[in-house]
Amino acid sequence: MFTKSTHLLAVSLLSLGLLAGCGTVPGDSPESGQAGAGAGEDGRALGRSDGSSAYLNRAGGGANDPSGRGGAGGELEHRVYFDLNSAIIDARAADVLAQNARWLGKRNVTVEGHCDERGTREYNLALGQKRADAAKQYLISQGIDASRIKTVSYGKERPLVNGHNEAAWGKNRRAELVP
């Protein structure tokens, strides 16, 4: 258990490293790099979201896995998915959130809610918030103190993948846990 947690912590720190604006992340722009470098609180928050997407996009594709933990026995996914226009935590999402809750312990976490590109901006902002809130409630049910969980909705503004089909939309309807 101890080794697993430290391992996961390492993964998470690595991902944070990427988030800080490493130039090799696909899609990392001068804007987000600049923001990470010194634009203060605001820029960091946005840069983090972009970087997070870029890193997690690669996760699971073993060849690009920067941790080289190929056979380590499964990684912790920080993301759960939703059905169209739904904010219901299904069994798989519940499982993922329960694992995250065990791993989070006393850490603070931001839950980002996201939507696919279909639908209006304002409805999707509300739907993304509902997804983040649903994930938050589940984390609370698993013993995480509500005060440690912040939620933010990006609506359809920050897709994980850029496709314009059902496969892409399914990946974009999500809540992400950003430690």
Partner 1 sequence: MNSSVFHPLFIALRAALFVGLILVPWHARAGLQIDISKGGQQPIPIAIPKFLDTNPDGSTNPSTAMGNRIADVVAADLERSGLFQVLDRNGFLQDPAALWKEGPRFELWRKNGAEAVVSGAVTVNGGQVHADFFLHDVYRGAPVGQGQRFAAPQPEWHLVAHRIADEIYARLTGESGYFASRIVFVAEKGDKKWLSIMDQDGLNRKDLTEGRSLVLTPRFSPNGESLFFVSYVSGEPRIYRWDLYTGKKYQEGDYPGLNSAPSWSPDGTRMAMTLNMDGNAEIYVKDLRAGSLSRLTHNPGIDTSPSWSPDGRRIVFNSDRGGSPQIYTMNADGSNQTRITFEGNYNAAPTWSPRGDLIAFVKGGGGSFGISVINPQGNQERALTSSWMDESPAWAPNGRVIAFTREGQGRKSKLYTIDLTGQNERIVPMDPEIQASDPSWSPLIR
Interface residues with partner 1 (CB under 8 A) are 27, 29, 31-32, 34-35, 39, 41-46, 50, 85, 117-123, 125-127, 129-130, 133, 150-155, 157, 164
User: Are the CB atoms for 90 and 54 separated by under 8 Å?
Assistant: no
Q: What burial letters (b/e) apply to 79-117, b meaning 16+ CB within 10 Å?
A: bbbbeeeebebeeebeebbebbbbbbeeeebbbbbbbbe
**Least distance CB 26 / partner 1 (angstroms):** 12
Of the pair 13, 123, the CB lying nearest partner 1 is at 123
**Least distance CB 115 / partner 1 (angstroms):** 12
**Least distance CB 152 / partner 1 (angstroms):** 5
Of the pair 65, 157, the CB lying nearest partner 1 is at 157
Helix (H, G, I), strand (E, B) or coil at 72: coil
Two tokens, residue 83? 């059905």
Helix (H, G, I), strand (E, B) or coil at 149: strand
**Least distance CB 30 / partner 1 (angstroms):** 8
